[in-house]
Amino acid sequence: MKIGRGCMNAVGRLRLTYRKARKGGMPSVLVRCGDCANRFVISYEPENPDPITDQFVEIAGVVATISEWRKLFRWVFAGGEHP
Ligand SMILES: [Zn+2]
C-alpha cells in the first residue's frame, strides 16, 4: 500500500533523532521512516519567549506558527475531508 510518496511496510514505526540547537539555530527532530530512506526535519523554538506570540515550527522546510500546525494536524488526524 502506498500513501503519497511514503510506504506502509514499516507498520507506522518512526525513527526519531533528537538534535540540540546549534549556534543560532533551533533544536530539531529528524523523522525517518522505519522502512526506507524517506525523512524530514522538524525544527522548533525551545521555549516561548512571549506567551502572547505564537511559536514557530518548521516542518519539512515549511515554517508556520504552532496554532496553524495544530489546526492542520487536528483536521488530518480527525480524518479530515477535502474542503
Ligand atoms: Zn518508508
> How remote is the CA of residue 34 from the centroid of ligand 1, in Å?
6
> How remote is the CA of residue 53 from the centroid of ligand 1, in Å?
36
Where do the structural domains in the chain lie, given as residue ranges? 2-77
What is the overall mean pLDDT for the chain?
86
Task: Write the CA distances from 46 to 17, 49, 53, 63, 81, integer angstroms.
Answer: 16, 9, 14, 15, 33
pLDDT score for 4: 66
Q: What are phi and psi of 14, to 5 degrees?
A: -100, 145
> How remote is the CA of residue 40 from the centroid of ligand 1, in Å?
12
pLDDT score for 9: 64
Q: Is 68 helix (H, G, I), strand (E, B) or coil?
A: helix
- Over residues 43-49, the mean pLDDT reads 81
pTM: 0.78
pLDDT score for 82: 73
> How remote is the CA of residue 12 from the centroid of ligand 1, in Å?
9
What's the pLDDT tens digit per position in 2-27? 566 667 665 678 999 999 998 888 99
- Over residues 24-53, the mean pLDDT reads 87
> How remote is the CA of residue 43 from the centroid of ligand 1, in Å?
21
